[in-house]
Every structure is written in C-alpha cells, then in structure tokens.
Amino acid sequence: MLKLLHANIGYLSKQNHVLIENVNVELKPGSTTALIGINGSGKSTFLKTLCRIIPVLSGEVYLENIPISKFSALEIAKKIAFVSTDIIKTKHLTAYELTALGRFPFTGKFGILNAEDHNIVENSLKLVGISNLRNKFVDKMSDGERQRLMIARALAQDTDILMLDEPASFLDLENKYLVYDILKSAAKRENKAILYSTHDLNIALKTADNLMVINNKELLFGNTEDVILAGIFNSIFDPNKIIFDIESLDFQIISTAHTEITFNCEVSSLSALIINALSRIGYLPVSHKTHLEISCNTNLHNATYLLAVGGKLEKFSTVGGLIEALQKI
C-alpha cells in the first residue's frame, strides 16, 4: 500500500518550507481516513506529496514498498487516483465521456476503450448514483452532480488508493453526506484506501474510520475514536473560543454571556436546544438559584416553558416566545 517514513512535507521556495515534520504513517486498505487541520496547515500539500505531484522534502514515500520516486507518472496513475479542488468547467463533454477519461492510464495513446473499460465506466457512474445523467453535459450539471462525477472519474481509474482534496466543499448538507457515504461504500466494497481532506469535522467524526490530524507541524494518525480520546481537538483550536464536546461529538463556541439564569429541564434533547438559544442571546444557564428561572415539562413535542422573573411566572408554548420575553428584560 502507501506509507511514509520520516517524511518532511512542505514546499520548495528559496529554501525548504516544512509544514509537517517526521511523518510515519501507512494507509489502510478497506477504510476511509479524514485529513483534518486548520487553514494553511498543509493538508493539500500532504495529499499532493503522496501522489508525487510535489516531491517529499526529506524522508521517503513508499508505494508497494518501493520509493514512489521510482515510478513513472503513468505507473502512479494506475495505482493512485486524485480528485483536486479544481472546478471542472469543460464544455461539450458528457458525464459518461468525462468519467471515461479515468481510464486513460490503461487505454494507450489513442484512448480507445474496450468492453471492459466501458463496463468500468458504467459501474463507476452507478456507484455514485448518476447513471441517469450519463448523457448530460458537464457544464449543465449542479455542483453536487459534478462532484459525484469527479468521484466517478476517479473510481473509473480503478486504483487501490483514492485521494480527494475537500470533496464536499460548497455542497449542501444532503450532498455532503451523500459524498462521504459514497466514499465509505467504495472503501468497504472494493477494499480501497481512501484519504480525503475536509473541514466538515462533524461529519468526518461520524463517518471516517480513521483520522489524520495536523497540529503544530505534527501528524496524529489513528482510529477515529482513539484520536478523539487523545484530546487533540482541544489543542488545535483556541480553548478560549471553541471547545470539543466528546459527548455530542460537536464543537461549541465558548459563550461570552455574563447574565446567569437558573435552568431546569429533564429532557436532554430539549435541554440542549434551550441552552443553545439562551447562550445565543447572552445568558449563562446555571443550576443554582438566580432572580431568573426557566423550567419546562418533559414532553418534547408538546412542551411548556415557564419563566419566573422576581416571583412573577409566565408560561410559553414555544422556545421563540420564551426567548422573545427574555430579550425584553
């Protein structure tokens, strides 16, 4: 498969500019790995180094236990498929024709597809759910359709390793989940090693088998749950601004609220919603007694909210009504 030993990742200028130091990792077949890091940490550079688009600064990248520098570009294309962040603006090509370009490492200089090539192209379109769009021109496709098409082209390359740079950027939530589900299915079904960079942390934590996290020029790699338990996310971001909540697998903005309000609600899902609303308008929910107090019944879908202000009790049937009343205090 693909592994790095004592590799320094970065780019060349007047001197080596190292972004990630002493990387020692090996991609695992049959699994998805999400590459995470803040802007400028080196995610795209890391992916391009693994594909030999740019050279490793020091150390070595091995492909099938052979230094990747020993392979020709065509040989690498038969083993690694890469989907960049570039927006495809081509005209006069259908979805089928663009997907067929994924067969270029195998079709010779004339690019003639045989029956097996056509079957692979058809299957790739089917895997990403756009067989019905095979004759649609690329420039007429939506962002979500075009992104799935780029994955289809990479799948048509029929490599053991697939790498993608921000595969779900600019997509709506439904299409984001769809893209990640396609990648996960491809990894399991075809035993591929799939590595993708992403800023969709909430989705990645729930769908990726493994995580690679870049932090202060170091790369932490492991099973998703093990990486979470290592507490890495509370060191990536400023803990005075954002923290990672391990129970919800979500990131929370540190509230700057100073007005305390007593809050009591036994339904955890309802409680989380109300706490979010209170924090948004500058209140800090607490358990001890204050001059403001909120309580609610235990019926999630027919809730009643009680607000006590200086002994005066008001009742609300919606969170919006409760929040509006608080904003007037």
Please tell me the distance from the alpha carbon of residue 229 to that of residue 232, in angstroms, as a whole number.
8
Write the DSSP string, 135-171.
TSBGGGS-HHHHHHHHHHHHHHT--SEEEEESTTTT-
Name residues whose C-beta falls within 8 Å of residue 223's C-beta, 6 or more positions apart in sequence.
Answer: 209, 210, 211
Dihedral, CA atoms, 247, 252, 254, 256, nearest 10 degrees? -120
* Residue 259 φ/ψ, nearest 5 degrees: -90, 115
pLDDT of residue 25: 96
Structure confidence by residue, pLDDT tens digits, 224-282: 999 999 888 888 887 777 888 887 788 877 767 678 999 988 777 788 888 888 888 88
DSSP state letter for 69: G
Structure confidence by residue, pLDDT tens digits, 160-178: 999 999 998 878 888 889 8
User: Quick one: residue 111, left, alpha or beta (phi over 0 = left, psi -120 to 50 = alpha)?
Assistant: left
Name residues whose C-beta falls within 8 Å of residue 97's C-beta, 6 or more positions apart in sequence.
Answer: none
Q: Tell me the pLDDT of the chain averaged across its residues.
A: 90
